[in-house]
Structure 1
Amino acid sequence: MAGPSRRGFLAGLLATGMAPQASWADLGHPAYLSAGKTPDGRFLLAGLDRTGTILFRHPLPARGHAATAHPSRPEAVAFARRPGQFADVIDCRNGAALTRLTPPKGHHFYGHGVFSPDGSRLFTTENAYENGDGRIGIWDASAGYRRIGDYASGGIGPHDIRLRTSPDGQHNLVVANGGIQTHPDSGRAKLNLATMQPNLSYLSLGGPLEDQLILNADMRLNSIRHLAISATGTVGFAMQWQGDAGADLPIIGLHNPGSAPRLMAEDDPRLRNLNGYGGSVAFSRDGAQISVTSPRGGVVQIADCTSGALLHEVRLTDVCGLTGTGAGFIVTTGAGEVSTIRDGTLTHLGRSDLAWDNHLIPIP
């Protein structure tokens, strides 16, 4: 009889809590995670260093979307694109599969997740699609990623989710409830545009709603989709317009609990260049600037967080992945490019054979 597979052996160790407790330092400090597609149509999650060099590849059964990194162990969770039925837990030392998470019956993943500050729990955005409720799944990451429950996301269509630390050191979860109801039987069709109402919800780690932002009625069709958190706890959010084409509406905003939102570049005609679509959003490391990518518009826009003015616009075909760096931003494209943007100047770092997907996830 053949012995157990390496994957099975690792999954068994993980489930019993006996897996070796390595750290990110064992990897030589990878900087980013990104889903991608190979030239022959296979999907994967890759780990990259700060120059864009690929350090590991992990095959995925279908198209990926985003990922999240464990705060201390060299593990990452790669999430399927909505409506997804898998989330792969990966050993980032070698790209090996540790386990695969499957949502409960009647749920699907929405493409994002985040760990608790100590790494003991994983929170996932989900759709309970028979009634359209947004849910946050809870997984025990200290016991083999066992499912231990879920609670309300605060709205319909929860997409991105981030851990926020307030200036006084308190933690909560921020959820981008896009407001769009979907059902797997209808693919990615939007079923409730006549009544959709996105919101930004702040949840305690235990579940109760602590605060919520609902935009004005004229922004009701601007689906809040993606999030970034500054070092001081300010939330940046990117939206995707679901109304008629050609509307010159803001696509990025800033928010702090208990205050009114601030929408960036409200009167700038260059907003139309985003084509109503914010793909990824990120703060610069110092929190002075916020950037958004639009693969539909083929542009990156960078705004000043104090004035709200649009500072720079950079043209780049099929750009979507984005994160802040010490000197600006780094972006990825569907053509495999990895580039930096500093003071509005685009510098190409390199190009791979992969078509990079929506998000470039920094490793803490």
Structure 2
Amino acid sequence: MPTRRAFIGGLAAASAYAGRGWAKVGHPAYLAAARDGTGAYRLFGLDEDGNGLFSVDLPDRGHAAAAHPHRAQAVAFARRPGTFAIVIDCETGRTTSVLNAPAGMHFYGHGAFSADGTRLFTTENEFDTATGMIGVWDVADGYRRIGSFASGGIGPHDVRLMPDGRTLVVANGGIETHPDSGRAKLNIPFMQPNLTYVSLSGEIVEQVEPEASRHMNSIRHLAVSPDGLVAFAMQWQGDVSEAPSLVALHRRGAAFTYLDTPPDEHRKMQGYAGSIAFSGNGAQVAITSPRGGLVQVFDVATARYRRSISMADVCGVAPAQGGFTITSGTGEIGRPDGASAGVLIQHDVQWDNHLVALHA
């Protein structure tokens, strides 16, 4: 996979691809953080088949990234609880801005841009009060922080822009953390996850909680279809032998629709879903479990389980034409076909949690 230097040097040869925004860096389909063979942390741009188009340095382990809708620019977030996020010009490989969480706060590893790319929204924890917050950053002014508002719960992890362009959906995981305690979970017996819809100005417009029997099922990661259907992946904080469904669908104004799995396949997930995505055509939704080494696929229209695919340490998943692309900590990138992982390519890296699809 090319280094930043090799990538920059190859730009001249690729001048036929030059254009606005992401076209300048070869039209990448995905972004993914990884640790390379030297132990360094990097953010990679990948094409649809998993080939590397570019890579840029990260100061520490990454988690997810937010891709600017128009510019070849990505915001890479530190693994939670982290206090930094860096803005990368993917054309030059330069870090153009550094986002530092305000005193008393930390990031949760995810963010989302407004549709016009003028604002970035970040999930944050005000840790002394255990209040979930959404930070607001002015992109044109060098990602200057211009405000924040409540996320509607504790431990907001993922955030996505809804298709209306006016609303964010937030996965409030319900888990209280504090940097003094590292990644320890401080409130499991009385945690309260929820799915919150909030306007870009901070007004909560809808909020849905799981029933009491599922209160230890932390809502963690989100996928949103073009028609506004939200899918979310959960991580069970109780005895894994008692874990309920780890994936659900939600449409505003309705209740959650839980997607159940055959008991034997469900147990293999070990109570943990790491990432979620709709298929390229929106007909299916998939969740991954690095603990179980498993991808599970469900039919959206019928809310029924379709199949499981085995891949060691699999976590990243994103839409692909006709299905999904998946990544693993072993360096593999696959395109599931039936029960096979359908490995496309092997890289000398350890892919981190998420594979971020670009829609440029």
Give the equivalent residue in structure 2 for 1:159. 157
Report if the CA contact (8 A) 2:236-2:243 is conserved: no
Aligned-residue identity in percent: 51
User: Partner of 1:92 in structure 2?
Assistant: 90
Contact 1:222/1:241 (<8 A) preserved: yes
* Structure 1 Cα separation of the partners of residues 99 and 89 of structure 2: 14
1:275 corresponding residue in structure 2: 270
CA contact (8 A) 1:56 1:94 kept: no
Q: Distance in 2 between matches of 1:89 and 1:312?
A: 38
| Aligned pairs (5 A) from 1:182-261 | 182-261=177-256
Question: AA paired with 1:87?
Answer: A
CA distance in 2 between counterparts of 1:248 and 1:215 reads: 14
CA distance in 1, matches of 2:57, 2:126: 27
Q: 1:47 aligns with which of 45, 48, 51?
A: 45
Shift of 1:32: 0.5
**Distance across 2 between alignment mates of 1:162 and 1:275:** 26
- Give, as a single letter, the amino acid of the residue that structure 1 aligns with 2:33: A
Unaligned runs of 5+ in 2: 1-18
Contact 1:86 1:100 in 2 (8 A): yes
Considering only aligned residues, what root-mean-square deviation do their CA atoms show, in Å? 1.3
Residue equivalent to 1:36: 34
Out of 59, 77, 82, the residue aligned to residue 80 of structure 2 is 82
- Displacement after TM superposition at 1:25 (Å): 1.5
Specify which of 147, 154, 158 is matched with residue 149 of structure 1: 147
Contact 1:82/1:111 (8 A) holds in 2:
yes
The count of residues paired between Structure 1 and Structure 2 equals 341
SS at match of 1:270: helix
Which one-letter code corresponds to 1:88 in the other structure?
I
The structure 2 residue matched to 1:318, chosen from 313, 329, 341, is: 313
1:297 aligns with 2:292: yes
| Distance (whole Å) between structure 2 residues aligned to residue 280 and residue 335 of structure 1 | 16
Cα distance in 2 between the residues matched to 1:198 and 1:267:
25
Quote the residue 1:176 is aligned against: 171
4+ aligned runs moved over 2 Å, structure 1: 266-269, 342-346
Deviation at 1:248, TM superposition (A): 4.1
Query: Using the alignment, how far apart are the partners of 2:347 and 2:31 within structure 1?
Result: 14
Mapped to 2, the partners of 1:98 and 1:121 lie a distance apart of: 16
Residue 124 of structure 2 aligns with which residue? 126
Q: Contact (CA 8 Å) 2:114, 2:165: kept in 1 or not?
A: no
SS in structure 1 opposite 2:23?
helix
Please tell me the residue identity of whatever aligns with 2:50. Answer: G
